[in-house]
């Protein structure tokens, strides 16, 4: 824990850590969607959009930057 605090990675993190960062070494178990824990729940978002008729994969493939 002292090494983690000294790393400064905790700065700017909700709860003081990011599961995808150094503190992930302390995480024993995740319950639920990993993408929801670290940000946008991608699987659930695609499922909701698909349920509303949005053809996600077709639009994604034809998207232009």
Question: Rounded to the nearest 10 degrees, how much is the dihedral formed by the CA atoms of 23, 24, 29, 31?
Answer: 100
Predicted model pTM: 0.46
What's the mean pLDDT in 37-43? 78
Distances (CA, A) of 62 to 18, 19, 56, 57, 58: 33, 33, 10, 9, 6
Tell me what the pLDDT averaged over the chain comes to. 80
Q: What pLDDT shows up at residue 6?
A: 92
How far, rounded to the nearest angstrom, does the alpha carbon of residue 18 sit from its chain's CA centroid?
10
Is the pLDDT reported for residue 52 higher than 80?
A: yes
């Amino acid at each position: 824990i002292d090494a983690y605090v000294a790393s400064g990675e905790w700065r700017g993190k909700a709860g003081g850590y990011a599961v995808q960062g150094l503190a992930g070494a302390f995480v024993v178990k995740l319950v639920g969607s990993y993408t929801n824990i670290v940000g946008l729940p991608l699987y659930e978002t695609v499922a909701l959009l698909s349920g509303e008729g949005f053809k996600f994969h077709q639009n994604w493939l034809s998207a232009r930057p």
